[in-house]
Structure 1
Amino acid sequence: MKEDASNKEKYILTSVDNTLSLLNLFFDYEELSVNDAAKLLGLSRSTVFRFMVTLENRGFLSKTDHATYRLGLNMFSLGMLAYNRMELAALIHPYLQDIARQTGETSHLGIVDDGIHIMFIDRALGTSQLKMETALGYRQLAHHTASGKAILGFQSDQVIREYIKRVSFQKLTPASLGDAGELLHLLDQVKREGYACDNEESELGLTCFAVPIVDATGRAVASISISGPTTRMKTHKKSHIVLLKHTVDELSRTLR
């Protein structure tokens, strides 16, 4: 354990560590002046001033009329985002477990992260001998995954156009989508049919089906999926998609 801690220490950036220590002060203080923060941290006033101005510029601190600083809206937004993700995962996890138990395949909960990547924030492992074991927090461009396409299919035209502008259509396998035209055609199909597929587009031998979780405005906020070896997945495609849709219908009633 000591050796691991020592190895981590050499990678720590002092300026970042000090900035985070500054933010930690706001657990105990609603407002702080530059002088007070500098004394509490044992750092020079000029250094703390630069930290505070930088954090203010990025919206993580807000300057008051009497020259003190308090937490900014971006800190609140970041905290709420983390909280909502944990709440969503806690609510949906029993459903993922039920899907994995019924199908023997791994089930995932995915959200779009940073506008272009799908992130898997929860999973329930399948019981079959060969199963998909994607790490929590794993990210992939949305159009390479069933989960991502399920969410993209239920977004506004503006969101989809912005996505296309920001990504490249590099193929991961011969089955990967090759250009924006293919994606747009596929997203129309996703919206009509209510589900998306990854037919070995991200990894050979792996197939995935996903269904979006849609809010009251018709926008997809997440998706749940079933993933496994292509042969098994194709054999049970119809029943897997029916199960996913039924699960999302139950979830939608819970979320209302």
Structure 2
Amino acid sequence: MPRVKAAASGSSTKATPYMVPAVDRSVRILRLLQRRQQATVTEVAQALTIGSSACYAILKTLQHHNIVAFDERAKTYRLGLSLLELGGAVSRDFAFVEKARTHLVEFARKTRLTTFVVARVSHEHLMVVDKEEPGGDVRISIAVGTRFRITEGMSGRCFMAFLSAEESESLLKSVGVSPVPGLPPPTQKAYREQLNTARAVGHATITDSPVSAANGVAAPIFDSEGRILFVITAMGLSSALTAKAIEDTGASLRAAADAITKVLRSQRG
């Protein structure tokens, strides 16, 4: 069977059998963004000797699929979160895991709660990108790669609460309120009140979930511009995380989220 030998540097333009030029350019662009972290269209085109129009079209196609993300302010592209969906191994290379996972692990081990991080992977969806679970036969469990609507659950409510008011309202109208299994869906008015409460206290909570008889807390993680980037969520059976302990756990989780925010901001700087 014919094989395609990959170039070691990722920048070779030498053709091999069955190579598709557009795919080759796309891979080279992704490898460049991996090395540089972010770059403009012009920088990418010049570095890889690709025509500006073709380079722009490829980047916009990759952006459409959330393979790359575009920074409106800096006019630069970077690798996108949808790469996480292509394999669990990718998550271990993601900036959060590399730079801030210590705080996730420390919190989970200290509290003995299942702790996970969600990120936005499309306009209307969030996905679990990392987790730490306590030992034991009975515990809350969630898989990395689990995807759900942005208005769904406690993690979604936390993310929605810390978006801009305009974007949050737009999503609420377009996506709607996602019901919790076993409970009637809240009205949009009630959902907005839940978002206001989360903003006021700095985290979202859930008690006595009908799905798992669990309690939980979710807190936001921000980027250097103050925009929500991740949500860190801690959940446990009601016997492990009592309703009375929710407030203290929320304060501890916010402290962990703030520490992660600080790490990410220092790395950006």
1:213-232 matched pairs, under 5 angstroms: 213-232=221-240
The Cα shift of 1:190 comes to 0.9
User: Aligned equivalents of 2:176 and 2:56: distance in 1?
Assistant: 40
Q: Which runs of 4+ in 1 moved over 6 A?
A: 67-71
**2:59 alignment partner in structure 1:** 73
1:59-70 matched pairs, under 5 angstroms: 64=51
Percent identity of equivalent pairs: 17
**2:177 alignment partner in structure 1:** 169
1:174-253 matched pairs, under 5 angstroms: 174-175=182-183, 177-200=185-208, 203-233=211-241, 234-253=243-262
Q: 1:170 to 1:249 in 2, by over 3 A?
A: closer
Match of 1:119 among 120, 123, 127: 127
**2:29 alignment partner in structure 1:** none
- Structure with greater helix percent: 1
The Cα shift of 1:121 comes to 0.5
CA contact (8 A) 1:143 1:149 kept: yes
**1:137 alignment partner in structure 2:** 145
Higher Rg of the two aligned structures? 1
TM-superposition CA deviations, 1:13-42 (whole Å, max 9, x none): xxxxxxxx9xx9x94545x9xxxx6xx444
Give the secondary-structure state (helix, strand or coil) at the position aligned to 2:240.
helix
**Counterpart residue type for residue 218 of structure 2:** A
The Cα shift of 1:120 comes to 0.9
In structure 2, stretches of 5+ residues that fail to align are: 27-43, 70-77, 82-89
TM-superposition CA deviations, 1:153-204 (whole Å, max 9, x none): 1111221123123324353324464232222111111111100023355724
Q: 1:126 to 1:235 in 2, by over 3 A?
A: farther
In structure 1, stretches of 5+ residues that fail to align are: 1-20, 56-60
CA contact (8 A) 2:203 2:220 kept: yes
TM-superposition CA deviations, 1:97-135 (whole Å, max 9, x none): 111111111111111221222211001112354211100
**1:254 alignment partner in structure 2:** 263
User: Aligned equivalents of 2:138 and 2:17: distance in 1?
Assistant: 52
Give the secondary-structure state (helix, strand or coil) at the position aligned to 1:126.
coil
Number of matched pairs? 220
Give the secondary-structure state (helix, strand or coil) at the position aligned to 1:108.
strand
User: Aligned equivalents of 2:18 and 2:256: distance in 1?
Assistant: 54
User: Aligned equivalents of 2:210 and 2:94: distance in 1?
Assistant: 27
CA contact (8 A) 2:151 2:172 kept: no
CA contact (8 A) 1:214 1:221 kept: yes
CA contact (8 A) 2:151 2:178 kept: no
TM-score by length of 2: 0.66
TM-superposition CA deviations, 1:59-100 (whole Å, max 9, x none): xx99738x9879832448266224898011222221111111
Q: 1:68 to 1:184 in 2, by over 3 A?
A: closer
User: Aligned equivalents of 1:70 and 1:217: distance in 2?
Assistant: 26
Q: 1:128 to 1:68 in 2, by over 3 A?
A: closer
Q: 1:170 to 1:251 in 2, by over 3 A?
A: closer
User: Aligned equivalents of 1:176 and 1:157: distance in 2?
Assistant: 25
**Counterpart residue type for residue 185 of structure 1:** E
Q: 1:202 to 1:108 in 2, by over 3 A?
A: farther
